[in-house]
């Protein structure tokens, strides 16, 4: 499945952004989905997980209470709503998909990746 992220940009600290991940062919509802991010000089890190049925979400401690992952099956998209953004949230954000599963947080556990979208939070 090919994934395409959108919605990144430049925002001031305390602001909000909504990232979207779309697929052109297979229904994303078939997959467990993850959002990851990678800041310059750092490893790619887990941000959020959404099960294929939508009944399970998991968040990194650093974003818990501020970010929300969700899916819209009618639009075949998965979104990441980001509120109360901090400068340390600055990174390239990637969506990823894998066959339906329990929660996985390691990048190598995901088979499909988008190209990433840049999020920059200014102080």
Query: pLDDT tens-digit profile of 49-93?
Result: 999 988 899 999 999 999 999 999 899 999 999 999 999 999 999
Average pLDDT over residues 105-110: 95
Residue 102 has pLDDT above 90, yes or no: no
Cα–Cα–Cα angle for 86, 18, 5, rounded to 5 degrees: 110
Of 4-8, 28-32, 61-65, least confident by mean pLDDT is 28-32
Task: Return d(Cα 61, Cα 58) in angstroms, integer.
Answer: 9
Nearest CA among 101, 4, 110 for reference residue 51: 101
pLDDT of residue 26: 79
Computed on alpha carbons and rounded to an integer, the radius of gyration of the chain in Å comes to: 13
């Amino acid at each position: 499945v090919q994934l395409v992220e959108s919605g990144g940009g430049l925002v001031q600290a305390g602001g909000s952004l909504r990232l979207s991940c779309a697929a052109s062919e297979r229904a994303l509802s078939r997959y467990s989905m993850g959002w990851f991010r990678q800041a310059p000089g750092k490893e790619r890190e887990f941000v959020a997980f959404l099960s294929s049925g939508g009944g399970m979400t998991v968040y990194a401690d650093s974003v818990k209470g501020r970010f929300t992952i969700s899916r819209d099956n009618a639009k075949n998209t998965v979104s990441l709503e980001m509120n109360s953004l901090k400068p340390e949230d600055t990174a390239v954000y990637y969506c990823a998909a894998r066959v339906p599963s329990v929660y996985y947080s390691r990048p190598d556990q995901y088979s499909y990746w988008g190209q990433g979208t840049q999020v920059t939070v200014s102080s």
